[in-house]
Structure 1
Amino acid sequence: MPKRPWIWLACRSNLFRWNTRPKSRYSCTKRGTCRVMCRTPKNSTINLKSDHANCSLCVCKEYEAAVEQLKGDQLRIQGEERRKTVGEETKQHQSRAQFQDRLARQRYEDQLKQQQALNEDNLRKQEDSVLKQEAMRKATIEHEMQLRHKNELLRVEAESKARARVERENADIIREQIRLKAAEHRQTVLETIRTAGAVFGEGFRAFVSDWDKVTATVAGLTLLAVGVYSARNATAVAGRYIEARLGKPSLVRETSRITVAEAIKHPIKMSKRLTSKPQDALEGVVLSPNLEERVRDIAIATRNTRQNKGLYRNILMYGPPGTGKTLFAKKLAVHSGMDYAIMTGGDVAPMGREGVTAMHKVFDWANTSRRGLLLFVDEADAFLRKRSTEKISEELRATLNAFLYRTGEQSNKFMMVLASNQPEQFDWAINDRIDEIVNFALPGPDERERLVRLYFDRYVLEPATGGRQRMKLAQFDYGKKCSDIAKRAEGMSGREISKLGVAWQAAAYSSEDGVLTEAMIDARVDEAMRQHLQKMDWLHGHTKEAGAKSTISPSAGPADSSKIGFTLPLGEPPQAQDVLTPALEIDNKPEAHVIQEELKLEVPAPPSSDCAELPVEEGTVPAKGEGVKAETVVTPQGEVAEGVSQTDAAPSSEGGTGKEGKTKAPPKDGTPV
């Protein structure tokens, strides 16, 4: 039997398995399931028919496969180890590179620091060198200056000595030269005087001998002086004339009088004004029947006065704000064919010393109107106050005096209309210049309904029915609504009702669809009434606070409830014994003498007493049984007594009051106490 190759026994799952069977020592568990291939040394394939051989070959193949697998695993492990080695080497290289880079950076920073320190050291050395050079240069310059100064002193000393020596040696020659120059100058001056005198003398003799030249010269000089004086004064007069004719005073806020500037700016408006016809004085003005009849009579009288060139009457219109005073004044001027000018009393006080000049300019300008001028002074109580009070300034007092001077007589050039909410504050001289007093009270029920309908038509119906405005009106009973609003608007003035109409229009414009509904109208009316009540609360609160500061006339009756904003009703002028003059302290001030003269003129003596009623301080009312003290008393003879007080107690037989003997009445001969 030929030799078989050495076969290593191996198997995939079991290398070998001991079999106890007697037939074979070795047996394969996978008998018959695989074909055993055996490689001979000559790479020849031997087919073995024996089962044991087949099993041995199978085990050998499996062993070889396991060996190959072990080699592959070993190669894989070696590759992994090699990769790890390469990774570690890479990390080592990177760490080494980073370390070298850090060392290079640190080395570079150290080099920079060393270079900077070296530069600083060099700079410091250069600065020290420059400072040393500057010090050396400064020392050199100082040394040179000292040497130059010494040399200059030596040179000046040498020159002065040489000059003095030369002057001493040439003193006779110098004196002779001075003498010759003086003689020549004197001779020249004398010759000039002789020549000029001869020339002027001959000319004057020739001029005097010729009377035609003398006459012509005198006439020429006279005409020159007259021309210069005339030109200067004529220019001033012409300027004032042009200003009075064409300009507008600074106090006038609004005017219908045509000026050159307004004619240039608004030519169409000026042409319409010139061609317009007189209108009804009460057109668009809603008043009570009695007041309407009265103001219509005033309008007719004013128009006839202008046509007949008569004297105009001055009017005072007083009443709460918004009752139509300014509107009626404008309508009155247009109806009468006059020009109107509106000024406010609040503009006078800020002008100070210029107030007098401005007031005269206003009246000069008013006197130049050909059609006649209606001068409307709104809020006149702002500057036409009592001059006897200490609260008025000297400038305002002078302006008031100028106003009184220009309105002392009736005029056929202008008509003065005053409007005030507090006429009791007027100076007594102002009241004396008033010819007609008209009370514009708050509108009654009928007047309120007329006003509501007027402004409802103007601000609601007309914009809703005509034009292209974005406004519509809901369907409801307009007449009934106006009547209801008039009943609810009790106490409201005409201006407040007008603002209510504007509020309706604004409510329609602010809505999304532009429709004015009845609910929106009621809401605006409620808001207006709430604001009106708030204003009345403010007014009543102010009236209560000022109640102790108002002067109550003994003869005055109860005030009308419609006169809101007044402390006193304006009735008949009080008697002399009812005139209450505020107490003033008379001292050495310049205005004290003026006050004395005013008191002498304005406070007449009562016919049945020896002394006028004592003055009461403004803002106080004496109670029954209490005395009234004053520092100034006007006697029947017009004298001013100082330090006199009077009480309600019966006077004693010696002329005193019976209270500690401190009060004395003035004697009957008029001598002041």
Structure 2
Amino acid sequence: MSWLFGYNNAPSGGQIPPGMIPPGPPGGGGDGGDKDKGKSRSDAYSFDSAALERAAKAAQTLERSPHAKDALQLSKAQELTLQLEHQAKIKETEAHIEQLKMEQARVMQEEKRKTLQEETKQNQQRSQYQDQLARKRYEDQLAQQARLNEENLKKQEESIQKQEQMKRSTMDYQAELNHKNDMKRIEAELRGKAQVERENADLIREKIRLKAQENRQTRLESIKTAGAVAGLTMAAAGIYGSKYGIGVAARYTEARLGKPSLVRETSRITVLETLKHPIQIGKKLFKKNEEVLTGIILKPTLEERLRDIAIATRHTKKNSGFYRNLLMYGPPGTGKTMFAKNLARHSGMDYAIMTGGDVAPMGKEGVSAMHKVFDWAQTSRKGVLLFVDEADAFLRKRNRELISEDMRATLNAFLYRTGEQSNKFMLVLASNTPEQFDWAINDRLDEMVEFILPDREERQRLVRHYFDKYVLQPAFEGKGRMKIAEFDYDLKCTEIADRIEGLSGREISKLGVAWQASAYASETGILTEEMIDEKVNDSLIAHSKKVVWQEDQTLYSYDTVNQTHNMSKKGASMAIPKSGSSAPETAT
């Protein structure tokens, strides 16, 4: 038992059970402790046999004591208390370990978060670097493509020039050979004739004399018998016949080789243009048909419909079928004229562009000029796409609009030439106000397509297209002194597309030209973000003014038309003659 060897394990209250002898210190009895303090270190650690005996006696005394059981219970209680304290310390230690684990987990989570942030940053930097590499590759590809195109163009020009030189040299050589052969033949003939004449000089003189005498007698007799009237008749017939023949030849030449006065622009090749620009004409002849929507950006649904029209037109051309007439209407600058030209090139046809505003100044000659256009179109072997821009200028309603007699006659001539489907020409009309067309014009249209202003997605594509065309390509190809400041081009194009709502494709293309002009006009030649924003603001201000002017013009035109219509009705009612009288009724 532990309390046998010291007082620390004594029962609570400090009482020693009866019969128990308090043990002394390990070195001896209880009174000898102070005496042993002065002993040497070797004496302190010497073995004391008396202590063992006293302990044995104390144990025997304790066993005989009536409080031995209580002492044993007390000792167990103390041992249990020590165990509980030890368990509490263990639990505290475990709690401390758990706290350390939680702290370690928190530290690991913090390290993981930092690692994730660092990985995200590295991925972003890697993405930016890859994007820069992709842009660089794209720019290099554009530059390489431009160089290849330029080299191919030079090679084609050189090839054409070589062919022309070989052709000219061959023709010169052929002409020289022909000249030599002709000279030799003439020389041989002259020598032969001279030799024959020398041998038969007497016979030839007699023959000439007899022939001259016979001719003299024949003429005298013909003059006497025919008379002067027959001679004059024959002369007049020859003069009028030559005049008529010259007129027919001139009209045929004009129809075949010339361009009608109403046609502003055409892709049809004439002999005069071939002689003036042989290289350019050669390029046109060997140029492949382009995709029908090259350079045109529209809504996907509209693009799909236009492709269907192009496919149908191309197959109609291949199968020599009848063309379908087309109407394209919508705001100006939405790509109607560009699509008409691309449709003609894609289908392998010639295009001819005329405007409705050119018809009114023709006056009485408008009818003949209109017939010349269709006669000229009928002579094309490839087929002609006749594009009439601003068609509402002369194809207005005949029963409501106030048009002149000359304009009415020209409209009737147009209706006569377009009354039936044709396999020689395709009629394509473009108008901003199709509601003004005459009903007979609407009856001749087979398909109508509406061109609207671009939406947000189309504006983004248009801005990127013209930014690349007028800014990036000149800057990266080194054409001129143009450079670009460092900023996010893609983000800037998206921002501009969000701001320019309501602008047409033509206005957006002019915006790209304005950016290019700003760079060229600057001292350094660098196009900055501020310069781009400035031109966008100017374009928006100009567009808002155009909208206001358009509204004012529309209101004014409506008021003027109504007023003129009312005045014409009033004048007509005043000029209606009375029944049974041929004179008009005068107003009183």
Q: Taking structure 1 as the reference length, what is the TM-score of the superposition?
A: 0.49
Determine the structure 1 residue equivalent to 2:503: 492
Determine the structure 1 residue equivalent to 2:548: 537
Determine the structure 1 residue equivalent to 2:394: 383
Offset at residue 214 of structure 1 (A)? 7.7
Determine the structure 1 residue equivalent to 2:293: 282
CA-to-aligned-CA distance 1:89-132 (integer Å, 9 cap, x gap): xxxxxxxxxxxxxxxxxxxxxxxxxxxxxxxxxxxxxxxxxxxx
CA-to-aligned-CA distance 1:196-242 (integer Å, 9 cap, x gap): xxxxxxxxxxx9xx99x989999999976765444332211111110
Determine the structure 1 residue equivalent to 2:267: 256
Task: Label 1:310 to 1:216 Cα distance change in 2 as closer, same or farther (>3 A).
Answer: farther
Task: Label 1:338 to 1:236 Cα distance change in 2 as closer, same or farther (>3 A).
Answer: same
Name the aligned partner's letter for residue 268 of structure 2.
Answer: R
Task: Label 1:294 to 1:220 Cα distance change in 2 as closer, same or farther (>3 A).
Answer: farther
Give the distance between the partners of 1:484 and 1:520, measured in 2 at CA. 14
Query: Is 1:473–2:487 an aligned residue pair?
Result: no
The 3-state SS of whatever aligns with 2:428 is: strand
Determine the structure 1 residue equivalent to 2:86: none
Determine the structure 1 residue equivalent to 2:283: 272
Give the distance between the partners of 1:237 and 1:354, measured in 2 at CA. 19
Write the mapping of 1:411-426 to structure 2, written as runs, cut at 5 A. 411-426=422-437
Write the mapping of 1:216-365 to structure 2, written as runs, cut at 5 A. 227-365=238-376
Structure 1 portions without partners, runs of 5+: 1-206, 552-581, 594-642, 644-673
Task: Label 1:519 to 1:244 Cα distance change in 2 as closer, same or farther (>3 A).
Answer: same
Task: Label 1:233 to 1:461 Cα distance change in 2 as closer, same or farther (>3 A).
Answer: same
Task: Label 1:220 to 1:370 Cα distance change in 2 as closer, same or farther (>3 A).
Answer: farther
Task: Label 1:218 to 1:587 Cα distance change in 2 as closer, same or farther (>3 A).
Answer: farther
Give the distance between the partners of 1:501 and 1:390, measured in 2 at CA. 40
Determine the structure 2 residue equivalent to 1:398: 409
Give the distance between the partners of 1:420 and 1:247, measured in 2 at CA. 28
RMSD: 3.3
Offset at residue 313 of structure 1 (A)? 1.1
Write the mapping of 1:90-129 to structure 2, written as runs, cut at 5 A. none
Give the distance between the partners of 1:374 and 1:540, measured in 2 at CA. 34
CA-to-aligned-CA distance 1:514-551 (integer Å, 9 cap, x gap): 00011111111111111111211222333445566789
Query: Is 1:502–2:525 an aligned residue pair?
Result: no
| Identity within the alignment, % | 65
Name the aligned partner's letter for residue 345 of structure 2.
Answer: V
Offset at residue 425 of structure 1 (A)? 1.1
Write the mapping of 1:458-607 to structure 2, written as runs, cut at 5 A. 458-545=469-556
- Structure 1 runs (4+) greater than 3 angstroms displaced: 213-230, 541-551, 582-589
Offset at residue 260 of structure 1 (A)? 2.0
**Aligned partner of 1:430 among 438, 441, 445:** 441
Determine the structure 2 residue equivalent to 1:445: 456
Give the distance between the partners of 2:425 and 2:238, measured in 1 at CA. 37
CA-to-aligned-CA distance 1:286-312 (integer Å, 9 cap, x gap): 111111111111111111111111111
Offset at residue 276 of structure 1 (A)? 1.0
The 3-state SS of whatever aligns with 1:312 is: coil
Offset at residue 471 of structure 1 (A)? 0.3
The 3-state SS of whatever aligns with 1:449 is: helix
Name the aligned partner's letter for residue 337 of structure 1.
Answer: G
Give the distance between the partners of 1:223 and 1:548, measured in 2 at CA. 68
Determine the structure 1 residue equivalent to 2:200: none
Give the distance between the partners of 1:497 and 1:268, measured in 2 at CA. 33
**Aligned partner of 1:366 among 377, 391, 394:** 377
Structure holding more helix per residue: 2
Task: Label 1:216 to 1:415 Cα distance change in 2 as closer, same or farther (>3 A).
Answer: farther
Offset at residue 265 of structure 1 (A)? 1.9
Name the aligned partner's letter for residue 444 of structure 1.
Answer: D
The 3-state SS of whatever aligns with 2:333 is: coil
Give the distance between the partners of 1:588 and 1:274, measured in 2 at CA. 63
Offset at residue 384 of structure 1 (A)? 1.0
Write the mapping of 1:15-164 to structure 2, written as runs, cut at 5 A. none
Give the distance between the partners of 1:426 and 1:527, measured in 2 at CA. 36
Task: Label 1:402 to 1:587 Cα distance change in 2 as closer, same or farther (>3 A).
Answer: farther
CA-to-aligned-CA distance 1:638-670 (integer Å, 9 cap, x gap): xxxxx9xxxxxxxxxxxxxxxxxxxxxxxxxxx
The 3-state SS of whatever aligns with 1:252 is: coil
CA-to-aligned-CA distance 1:554-598 (integer Å, 9 cap, x gap): xxxxxxxxxxxxxxxxxxxxxxxxxxxx96976899xx99xxxxx
Name the aligned partner's letter for residue 396 of structure 2.
Answer: R
Name the aligned partner's letter for residue 273 of structure 2.
Answer: E
Give the distance between the partners of 1:226 and 1:548, measured in 2 at CA. 63
CA-to-aligned-CA distance 1:365-410 (integer Å, 9 cap, x gap): 1111111111111111111111123621111111111111111111
Give the distance between the partners of 1:550 and 1:319, measured in 2 at CA. 22
Give the distance between the partners of 2:401 and 2:328, measured in 1 at CA. 27
Query: Radius of gyration: which is bigger?
Result: 1
Give the distance between the partners of 1:588 and 1:253, measured in 2 at CA. 44
Determine the structure 2 residue equivalent to 1:554: none
Give the distance between the partners of 1:219 and 1:309, measured in 2 at CA. 54
Give the distance between the partners of 1:474 and 1:376, measured in 2 at CA. 43
CA-to-aligned-CA distance 1:416-437 (integer Å, 9 cap, x gap): 1111111111111111111111
Give the distance between the partners of 2:321 and 2:239, measured in 1 at CA. 42
Name the aligned partner's letter for residue 503 of structure 2.
Answer: M
The 3-state SS of whatever aligns with 1:280 is: coil
Offset at residue 470 of structure 1 (A)? 0.7
CA-to-aligned-CA distance 1:344-372 (integer Å, 9 cap, x gap): 11111111111111111111111111111
Task: Label 1:584 to 1:269 Cα distance change in 2 as closer, same or farther (>3 A).
Answer: farther
Q: Taking structure 2 as the reference length, what is the TM-score of the superposition?
A: 0.56
Give the distance between the partners of 2:260 and 2:377, measured in 1 at CA. 10
The 3-state SS of whatever aligns with 1:441 is: coil
Name the aligned partner's letter for residue 552 of structure 2.
Answer: G
Task: Label 1:220 to 1:502 Cα distance change in 2 as closer, same or farther (>3 A).
Answer: same
Q: How many corresponding residue pairs? A: 358
The farther-off stretch of 388-397 and 234-243 is: 388-397
Give the distance between the partners of 2:361 and 2:536, measured in 1 at CA. 39
Give the distance between the partners of 1:588 and 1:367, measured in 2 at CA. 48
